[in-house]
Amino acid sequence: MEGRKDLLVSTIGMEIGDIIAGIRSLPHDNLVLVTDAAMDENASTLAFLRRLGIRHEVLLVDPSDITGSALLIERKVQDHLDKGWRARVDITGGRKLLSDAAMLAALSTGSEICCFEMGARRFPLLTAMGVREALPKDLAEVLRSHEWPMLLGDIQGKGNDNPLPVMLRRLKQMDLVQLEERTVPMICLTKRGKACLDWMKRTKELSGSSE
């Protein structure tokens, strides 16, 4: 593993002390500070880091949008992973929503999670924890390309050679769709299904036309 570069993503609020333990103990070639506060609010924190000679970049996220925040962090991490970097996410600093967003991004990318609230804690994670890795491409396509909800009757009319019914069963096993008895029986997205579809759509928006 020698020669592999390390990314450290740290969530930060107004307390610089929260991130120092991570910066000191986790090796990194690039430091990304994730904050939901405007830059000028954090000016003293950032100036302090500059005085210490700690190079960093700042990723500003929207505190009212946990999914959007998670996606921005995920994108930053994934860009590095795609280049062969290793990534760690320190969730000690900042407020709860920020830590949760960073946690989601780490889960989605299989990055190690670290926190220093009560001594050093490091959580190795497996890839395939998140939507990007864990949702098979064919199922993602079905989720993305169909109008929801869909009429059960339409599906029942499909021939045996049509792959859609099998795909829907697989989506049901993953708790992404469910049958609902409305005026007529409909196949609807579950809350989890809606969240995953939202994640995929927003990922696509963030990446522009590259995906």
Partner 1 sequence: MVAILGTLGFRANSLLPTLESTPGVDKVVVFCNDHPRALEALTDVQRVCSIMGIQIDRVAMPDAFDLLQAAKAMRQQVHHLKKDGHEIAVFNIAGGTKMMSAAALLVCAMEGLNSVYVHDETYREIPLPLLKVDYSQLLTTAQKEILTYIWTNRAKPMTQVDIALGMGKHKATINHHIQMLEGKNILHLVEDQSDRRRKVVRVDDALELMLEMD
Contacts of 140 (CB under 8 A, 6+ apart): 131, 200
The nearest distance, CB 188 to partner 1, in angstroms, is: 14
Q: Which of 81, 125, 152, 155 forms a contact with partner 1 (CB under 8 A)? A: 125
The CA radius of gyration of the chain, in Å to the nearest whole number, is 21
Nearer to partner 1, 158 or 192 (CB): 192
If the CB atoms of residues 129 and 152 are measured against partner 1, the closer one turns out to be: 129
Strand 150-151's sheet: what is its strand order? 150-151, 185-189, 177-181
As measured in angstroms, the least distance from the Cβ of 17 to partner 1 is 15
The token duo for 149 is 């909800």
Site residues for partner 1, 88-107, by CB under 8 A, read 88, 91, 95-97, 99-100, 103-104, 107
For residue 187, the tally of other CB atoms under 10 A from its CB is: 19
Kindly indicate which of the ranges 54-62, 120-128, 143-151, 157-165 contains the residues binding partner 1, using the contact rule CB under 8 A. 120-128
Report the alpha-carbon distance of residue 168 to residue 153 in Å, rounded.
13
The nearest distance, CB 80 to partner 1, in angstroms, is 14
Name the residue type at position 185. Answer: P
Specify the residue, 121 or 158, whose C-beta has the smaller distance to partner 1.
Answer: 121
> Site map for partner 1, 160-179, x if CB under 8 A?
-------------xxxx---
Q: Is 3 in the site for partner 1 (CB under 8 A)?
A: no
42 and 12 Cβ atoms separated by less than 8 Å? yes
